[in-house]
Amino acid sequence: MLELRLTPRQLNELELMRAGAYGAELRYELPGGDTHVATLLVGDIAVPAAIELLDTEATPVARVDVTGSHTTGAGTWVAGDVTMLREPAAASFAEIRPRASLPMLDHATLALGNDVSDRDDDIVLVDHGDVEALSRAVTAARRADREVRVLPRPAAAHLDAAATDELLTHLTEVVFASTVATRRHTGRARGAGMVILLSGLSGSGKSTIARQLTRRLRAESHQRVTLLDGDEVRAMLSSGLGFSRADRELNVRRIGWVASQLAAHGGIAVCAPIAPYATMRAEMRAMAEEHGRFMLVHVATPLEVCEARDRKGLYAKARAGEIKEFTGISDPYETPLDADIVVAEDGTETVEDAAEAILRAAIQPESSYVI
């Protein structure tokens, strides 16, 4: 049986399902025409007949008996009935969430940005995963003598921003209020923290660029800057892992979690793993954006240039079959299509030029660079 540790938003989706927000049945559906359904996305391409769902404390809380699946570039969508095994770890503000079964409000304002306005009546705030921001918003609403509810924001990874807003409005009408006024485009305030992920082939120069970028950020920013290099993190956090796809994904997931925690406390994390798969980069982006900004840098040094450098002799061993599942040779590198900046496209840019371009893009997030 596959074990799946749910993300905070996936746990939110399970919470909403159990509160009857998607109907009486406990069930995941495949994405389709109806956007008002619970969905589950897993990283594995092949899924077994049953999946055990774990909460944030790695405790088994539910089982999915799989009745259908559909694989896309983002991963595999799973359909199936859900059987609860035990209660998940308690969520923040459980007393005002859907499972509390509070009386329905006649009218409420859904504040998508979690900002409390003097014009609001009773208010519904959204749990996006940032506990500190949610706590501030709940406190502000209570000080303003508002009746307040907390709506878990589901994963809904198949929906764009507009469709997600519409789903949140629908869910609010189902679980909290007879009529809902939605304040859109308010923008959820995030912290000043940031995660910068440099992804590229072995030998692309990403570690060297990351070190130079870290030095520049430390000189020009008042924030604490931490470098999480791929080789060093693997030695310290992931020494027991191999190089299978599952182990690589777990390694990057660990880097992403540490980086997101640094961002949550206002820091800047510079990360330089290979991160060859689009799903792992998307998961890292989602974790980071719960707390601050995320920048994906594609260090696009061509394979032939990386192989010519080959200071560790890894490519030669991979060509000789001594290293299995080596990125770029016997295992794919999925070129980022959502990179915020691309450097070293022809392998001739200097480390200083690449670090400068990334630094300027980080300082001016509205800009888009390709050098």
**Structural domain contains residue 358:** yes
Q: What is the pLDDT of residue 132?
A: 80
Q: What is the pLDDT of residue 185?
A: 53
- Same domain flag for 49 and 119: no
- Same domain flag for 327 and 231: yes
Q: Which residues pair with 195 in a beta bridge?
A: 269, 294
- Same domain flag for 155 and 78: no
- Same domain flag for 223 and 366: yes
The predicted-structure confidence for 31-80, as pLDDT tens digits, reads as follows 988 889 999 999 877 788 999 999 988 899 999 999 999 988 778 999 99
* pLDDT over 70 percentage in the chain: 93
Specify the higher pLDDT residue, 272 or 113: 272
- Same domain flag for 21 and 114: no
8 A C-beta contact, residue 112 and residue 90: no
The predicted-structure confidence for 98-136, as pLDDT tens digits, reads as follows 999 899 999 999 998 877 776 667 999 999 888 888 888
Strand 123-127: give its sheet, edge to edge: 148-152, 123-127, 105-111, 177-183
Among 96, 98, 128, 94, which Cα is nearest to 111's?
128
- Same domain flag for 268 and 306: yes
The predicted-structure confidence for 173-232, as pLDDT tens digits, reads as follows 999 999 998 887 544 445 578 999 999 998 899 999 999 999 999 888 878 899 997 667
* pLDDT over 90 percentage in the chain: 50
Q: What is the pLDDT of residue 187?
A: 47
- Same domain flag for 20 and 127: no
Among 69, 88, 66, which Cα is nearest to 16's?
88
The predicted-structure confidence for 146-165, as pLDDT tens digits, reads as follows 899 999 999 998 888 889 99
**Structural domain contains residue 189:** no
**Structural domain contains residue 157:** yes
Averaged pLDDT of the chain: 87
Q: What is the pLDDT of residue 118?
A: 66
d(CA 111, CA 235): 44
d(CA 66, CA 71): 14
CB atoms within 10 A of CB 320: 9
Q: Rounded mean pLDDT of 276-292?
A: 88
Q: What is the pLDDT of residue 370?
A: 38
8 A C-beta contact, residue 149 and residue 108: yes
- Same domain flag for 57 and 101: no
Mean pLDDT is lowest, of 22-26, 133-137, 249-253, 360-364, for 360-364
- Same domain flag for 237 and 263: yes
d(CA 209, CA 198): 9
Residue type, 130: D
- Same domain flag for 80 and 100: no
The answer, yes or no, to whether residue 299 has pLDDT greater than 50, is yes
Integer-rounded Cα radius of gyration of the chain? 22
Q: In the chain, how many domains are there?
A: 3
**Structural domain contains residue 188:** no
- Mind spelling out the 3-state secondary structure of the chain? CEEEECCHHHHHHHHHHHCCCCCCCCEECCCCCCCCCCCEEECCCCCCCEEEEECCCCCEEEEEEEEEEEEECCEEEEEEEEEECCCCCCCCCHHHCHHHCCCCEEEEEEECCCCCCCCCCCEEEEECCCHHHHHHHHHHHHHCCCCEEEEECCCCCCCCHHHHHHHHHHHHHHHCEEEEEEECCCCCCCCCCEEEEEECCCCCCHHHHHHHHHHHHHHHCCCCEEEEEHHHHHHHHCCCCCCCHHHHHHHHHHHHHHHHHHHHCCCEEEEECCCCCHHHHHHHHHHHHCCCEEEEEEECCCHHHHHHHCCCCHHHHHHCCCCCCCECCCECCCCCCCCCEEECCCCCCCHHHHHHHHHHHHHCCCCCEEC
Among 200, 173, 212, which Cα is nearest to 296's?
200
Q: Rounded mean pLDDT of 342-346?
A: 88
- Domain end among 127, 153, 183: 183
The CATH number of the domain holding residue 218 is: 3.40.50.300
- Same domain flag for 346 and 212: yes
**Structural domain contains residue 89:** no
**Structural domain contains residue 121:** yes
Q: What is the pLDDT of residue 240?
A: 67
d(CA 109, CA 128): 17
d(CA 256, CA 280): 9
Range of the domain at 40: 2-84
- Same domain flag for 232 and 122: no
d(CA 208, CA 267): 21
- Residue reference for tokens 């392998």: 347
Tokens of 285: 């982006």
Mean pLDDT is lowest, of 85-99, 243-257, 286-300, for 243-257
The answer, yes or no, to whether residue 280 has pLDDT greater than 80, is yes
Q: What is the pLDDT of residue 371?
A: 34
